[in-house]
Amino acid sequence: MRKTPTWPRHAIMLVVCVLMLIPFYWVLKTSLTGENIYAYPPRIIPVDPHLFNYVDVWYMIPFPRYLLNSVIVTLMAVAGNLLFNTTAGYALTKNFPGRRWVVLLLLSCMLIPFQATIIPAYLITSWLGVLNTHLGMALPMLSTIICIFIFKASFEAVPRSLIDAARIDGLSEWRIVLRIMLPLSKPAVATNVILNAIWSWNAFMWPLITTRSAEMQTLPLGLARFLSVMENTTGALYAFVVLVLVPGLAIFLMAQKEFIRGLTAGATKG
């Protein structure tokens, strides 16, 4: 490897990155442009750019309120996932009758599309009496299968000797998880945090069905609600898109180091 020059690889990657970034730029540019966005030919540099589209968006919907709801739901989902996926992942590292069946069951659960389960899911949620609440929105997302397996992989990487030693010291299973497993699986934790944050932040159809009051809407719903008024005729829509995406991206960028290490570590001794 050393001998081969690296510039061709840089060149390719630069092209790839540009391609990946163009959509971001195009939306950003549209959200800033002052001219009629349907003008042809479109300009690469926004004409007399301004930020007023963002002002409009801010007043078009109760943005802070929606943001808060999104944050709460996301936090719940992340917390739930950390708790349930750790325990489940740990359980799967042990040998117990029917383990293979559980794994199969979990895998096949991944293949059930949500759109087809809306009605029963709604009935169940209402039966639990958490409709139109943050908990109700977070509930179906409190545990995700892929993440269970990420934990499983990372736990399996922990040397048996450590666990046995702990058991000899008479640590309870709980303490083993808390004191030994988790500290050694920080990357897996980061991965869980990020993936679930992403997924629940972006959830659309479920919050749409479970929320009645305007106060409970989340940002994605705001986007739909916004579309219905403005359609795609103004930079404001794209300003909104930017505003909805920025928080998620920010979180990801801040945590991506751990995230990527997380998946890696998860695999190295998976």
Partner 1 sequence: MAACFLLPALTIFFLYRILPLGWNLWLSFHAWSPLKPAQFIGLEHYEEMLLDDEVFWQALGNTLIFIGCSPLAIMAALAIALLVNSDLKGAAIYRTIVFLSYPLMTVAVGIIWRWLYDERSGFINWVLRSAGIINEPLKFLQSFDMALPSVIVADFWQVLGFYMIILLTGLQAIPQHLYEAARVDGVPARARFLHITLPLLRPSIFLCFVVGILNSFTSFDLVYVMTNGGPGHATELLITLIYKAGFGQTRFDYAAALTVVQFLLLVVLTWVANRAAGGNAGSRET
Partner 2 sequence: MSLSGSNGWLILRHRFVAVPLALAIVTGAWNAYVAINDGGIIAGTVQDPAGRPIAGADVLFFERSMLNYVEERRTRTDAAGAWRFDGMAVHVGQVEAIAPNGQKSERRQLRLWFKAQNTEVTPLIVREYR
Partner 3 sequence: MRRRNLLQATAVTAALAALPRPGIAQAPKKITWLTWNLVHLESHIKGWIASFVAANPGVEVEWIDKKGPELPAFYQTQLVAGTPPDVIDIQGALGLEYAGQGALLDLSPILAREAAVKGSFNADYLSNWVFEGKNYMVPYYISKTLLFWNKTRFRDAGLDKPPTSFAEIMAAATKIKGGEKTGLLTLNFDWLYWPFMQMSGVELLSADLKTPTFNTAKAADALGQLAEATKSGAINGISWTGRWVEPNEAFATGNVGMLHAHAPAYFWIKGKGPWINADTLGAAHAPGGWATPNSHGLGISKGSKNPELAWAFVKHITGDVVADSLARTASVLTGNKVVDQAQLVRLEKDDPAAFQVLKTQFEHTDKMCGNWRLGNDSRVKDAFWPEFQSAVLGRKDPKTALADAERRVARELRRA
Whole-angstrom Cα Rg for the chain: 23
Alpha carbon of 20 to those of 15, 16, 17, 23, 44: distances in Å? 9, 6, 5, 7, 17
- Which partner, partner 3, partner 1, partner 2, none, binds residue 139 by CB below 5 to 8 Å per kind? partner 1
User: 21 vs 162, which CB is nearer to partner 1?
Assistant: 21
Return the residue of 78, 137, 139, 182 that touches partner 1, per CB under 8 A: 139
Q: What are phi and psi of 62, to 5 degrees?
A: -70, 75
Query: Cα(87)–Cα(81) distance, rounded to whole angstroms?
Result: 10
Question: Interaction with partner 1 in 228-257: which residues (CB under 8 A)?
Answer: 232, 237-238, 241, 244-245, 248-249, 251-253, 256-257
Residues that bind partner 3 (CB under 8 A): 38, 61, 108, 118-120, 122-124, 126-127, 129, 131-132, 205, 208-209, 212-214, 224-225, 227-229, 231-233
CB proximity list for 119: less than 8 A, separation 6 or greater: none
Sign, Cα dihedral of 220, 226, 231, 236: negative
Q: Least CB distance from residue 223 to partner 1, whole Å? A: 6
Return the residue of 257, 264, 269, 270 that touches partner 2, per CB under 8 A: 257
User: 131 vs 255, which CB is nearer to partner 3?
Assistant: 131
Q: Least CB distance from residue 205 to partner 1, whole Å? A: 8
Q: Least CB distance from residue 195 to partner 3, whole Å? A: 26
User: 65 vs 225, which CB is nearer to partner 1?
Assistant: 225
Q: Least CB distance from residue 222 to partner 2, whole Å? A: 18
Question: Interaction with partner 2 in 153-212: which residues (CB under 8 A)?
Answer: 186, 189-190, 193
Sign, Cα dihedral of 207, 209, 210, 212: positive
Query: Cα(197)–Cα(76) distance, rounded to whole angstroms?
Result: 10
Binding status of residue 246 toward partner 2 by CB under 8 A: no
Binding status of residue 34 toward partner 1 by CB under 8 A: no
Task: Specify whether the CB–CB gap between 137 and 77 falls below 8 A.
Answer: no
- Strand, coil or helix: what is 76? helix
Residues in the chain: 270
Binding status of residue 96 toward partner 1 by CB under 8 A: yes
Q: Is the peptide bond before 41 cis (omega within 30 degrees of 0)?
A: yes
